[in-house]
Structure 1
Amino acid sequence: MPTEDERTHEPARELPADRLDLGDAEQAAADQPPEEEPRQPVDEPRRLVPPYDRAHKRRNQRPLPT
């Protein structure tokens, strides 16, 4: 293990472009313009599922034990 005296005190250099990771997020972000996400208004009404009618409830109700 090198001691403090044996270490070189050179500033860190940037890696050459051919040694960069192709999946690096910073590299990918620098190459492509940011993609815009579709905007959805905050106050947009939500679709509500209509409640069951009486006939549908009656059809799905389990018979009472006798």
Structure 2
Amino acid sequence: MGRREAHVVRIDAPLLCLSIYLLQSYLAHIMLRLALVERLLIAEYLRLLSHPTHSCSSLIQLLPSPIAP
């Protein structure tokens, strides 16, 4: 049986730091967008609750439609 050699992957440290920084920036951007969407949904939910003429079906329409298989 042959002996397997270990593969060594060398990563350039500045490139790794830049990649991590860009990933953090991208994730922060996504989190900011999600917070904005959350605030808009809460505002819409409260607006619908304040109008007694709206039924629960109006709230259900705010939900995204399920993805078809």
Q: TM-score, normalised by structure 2?
A: 0.27
Relative contact order (alpha carbons < 8 A, sep ≥ 6): 1 or 2 greater?
2
Normalised TM-score (structure 1): 0.28
Compare CA radii of gyration and give the structure with the larger one.
1
